[in-house]
Structure 1
Amino acid sequence: MNVNEQITTFLKSNLLDKYLIGQTTASETEEVEHYINTYPEVKKVYEKLQDKLELSAQINAVNAPKNALDNILNTLEEDTPVVPMQPNKPKRKWFSLAIAASVAALLFAGSSAYLFVQNSNLSNENQVIVDEIFDLRSDIAKNNSRLTDVLEQFKQLNNPETEKYVLKGNRSAKDLKTVAYINPKEKKSMIDVVSLPQLPDDQVYQIWADIQGKMVSLGILTEADRKLQEIPYTEDALGLSISVEPKGGSLERSSDTPVAEISLKLND
């Protein structure tokens, strides 16, 4: 089990909740304090739960009225007749003890119910915090992956072996502009879609590589692709061209006059 799984299992065990309300055994206390002192994630969850428990206690705290005890004693004195104590009739003593025991039982039941509700709320909040931590880690991993891709692209762009080719549209597509980056040594190709004039819904732009007079499709270009991206590398390509094709693309270039084209000089 890796560290992340250990932390998740621990947080889901509710040991933190028991630790906060002083219900852990000696071995459980040692385990909880080990996790708090070793893993910052656990310490953060512990501190947050501690703050919420203290706040909840302050909000729900109710001060007893100042004269509550005096009022109870006065009521007992007014409503209870005084009976001389007789050795063979100790009923009054047991009756008073029964009342005290009932009051204590009610207070204990109320406290238990309150702690149960608080424990349930803390458990739910604990799970939410765990989910938030792993969502954050997932976002960090995705951002690191994107950063790695960007650094790799930057490395390729700055490679002395990488050639840059700008494809500009002709009269049929004056605003069209794309930039191709090709590295024959690394056998990698990238394209940056700078601008594409809008087409009818039933047409698309498609890029081609000229390999000894045969046009090989490298994919469809769209406005959504206006970022640096990899395209298939074609060995011994003589040129690149962009044509207008039916929606979905074509297996063969349908026009002998593309809207943009450029010759490649990779062997020079």
Structure 2
Amino acid sequence: MEKKLHTFFQSGLLDKYILDETSASERLTVENFIDTYPEVASEYERLQNNLEIIAKATAIEAPTTILDAILNEIEEDNTPVIKLEKAQHSTPWYSIAASVVALLFAGGYYMKTQQNLDLLKENQVVVEEIFDLRSDIEDNNKRLDNLMDEFMKLNNPETEKYVFRGNDRAKDLKTVAYINPVDETSMIDVVSLPQLPEDQTYQLWAEMQDRMVNLGILDASQKKLQSVPYVKDALALSITIEPNSHLNTTAADSAVAEIDLNNKRNN
């Protein structure tokens, strides 16, 4: 059975199933493994949790539809009315007929010209909408590529998960670090950071044998998975509260959360 499970996990079918990229037969195979083996069901739950972590995103407002643009153009179209003055004296019938023909011709020409202008405006709106849609599609494709990249990093067996929990100075602080020493990548998921005064910031530090290395400022508003510099041979990571004026120095008692990297790597 262990060999069968090993072969299944190595096939990558479970990852494809999570991302909805399996065929009908592959989907039945995966679902059968999930129902039959607790190990597969547990791994399925873990992959779902990882996908949920990296899928944090704000809703993208849909672009204005072409129909709305055309309707707006129609509502704004006010065709002027030509006012005819009442004749004060009699006019020969052929003069009246000629005038009517001229007015009809002028009115028809004006309406045709106005229709052409309206069509040009509508065509321009359509072109702009198409460019907007193409831009949105490209942006969405980039977001999907980034999502896939982060998902693969989280699912890498070499990726270790570390949870920062705040001390008495920041009890509600919770942040998760994902570190892969093989690929030399680091990511931070800011779950919650207590509000600070405007003159203070949260900063991430790597503790080396002989010094502290600043890895940047943690922004409480950026509640999404974000990359941070990987520091080889770091013994620990810590989150500190520092004044805005101290971006490259840290006090001995400023740490509000720490994780030990050395112990976990040695286990």
CA offset digits 1:22-49 (Å, max 9, x no partner): xxxxxxxxxxxxxxxxxxxxxxx8xx98
CA offset digits 1:92-142 (Å, max 9, x no partner): xxx876654443332211100011111112211211121112112211211
**Structure 1 pair 257–200 and aligned structure 2 pair: CA distance change class (3 A):** closer
CA offset digits 1:220-262 (Å, max 9, x no partner): 1121121111111111111100111002552121234511111
Q: Is 1:220 the equivalent of 2:235?
A: no
Q: Is 1:205 the equivalent of 2:182?
A: no
Match of 1:255 in 2: 252
SS in 2 for 1:122: helix
CA contact (8 A) 2:165 2:257 kept: yes
Q: Is 1:119 the equivalent of 2:116?
A: yes
Whole-Å Cα distance in 1 between the matches of residues 247 and 189 of structure 2? 22
Instruction: Pick one of 243, 247, 254 that aligns with 2:240.
Output: 243
What is the identity, as a one-letter code, of the residue corresponding to 1:221?
L
Whole-Å Cα distance in 1 between the matches of residues 151 and 215 of structure 2? 22
**Structure 1 pair 141–248 and aligned structure 2 pair: CA distance change class (3 A):** farther
**Structure 1 pair 244–147 and aligned structure 2 pair: CA distance change class (3 A):** same
Instruction: Pick one of 140, 152, 155 that aligns with 2:152.
Output: 155
CA contact (8 A) 1:167 1:178 kept: yes
Instruction: Pick one of 179, 196, 209 that aligns with 2:176.
Output: 179
Match of 2:228 in 1: 231
Whole-Å Cα distance in 1 between the matches of residues 99 and 199 of structure 2? 83
Match of 1:131 in 2: 128
Q: TM-score, normalised by structure 2?
A: 0.62
Could you tell me how far 1:182 is from its partner in structure 2? 0.5
How many residue pairs get aligned? The number is 188
- Alignment of structure 1 residues 17-56 onto 2, 5 Å: none
SS in 1 for 2:108: helix
Consecutive unaligned residues of structure 1, counting only runs of 5 or more, are 1-44, 61-78, 81-94
Whole-Å Cα distance in 2 between the matches of residues 190 and 249 of structure 1? 24
What is the identity, as a one-letter code, of the residue corresponding to 2:222?
D
Structure 1 stretch 145-154 or stretch 257-266: which is displaced more? 257-266
CA contact (8 A) 1:189 1:230 kept: yes
What is the identity, as a one-letter code, of the residue corresponding to 1:114?
M
What is the identity, as a one-letter code, of the residue corresponding to 1:200?
P
**Structure 1 pair 253–117 and aligned structure 2 pair: CA distance change class (3 A):** same
Whole-Å Cα distance in 1 between the matches of residues 245 and 118 of structure 2? 53
Could you tell me how far 1:185 is from its partner in structure 2? 1.4
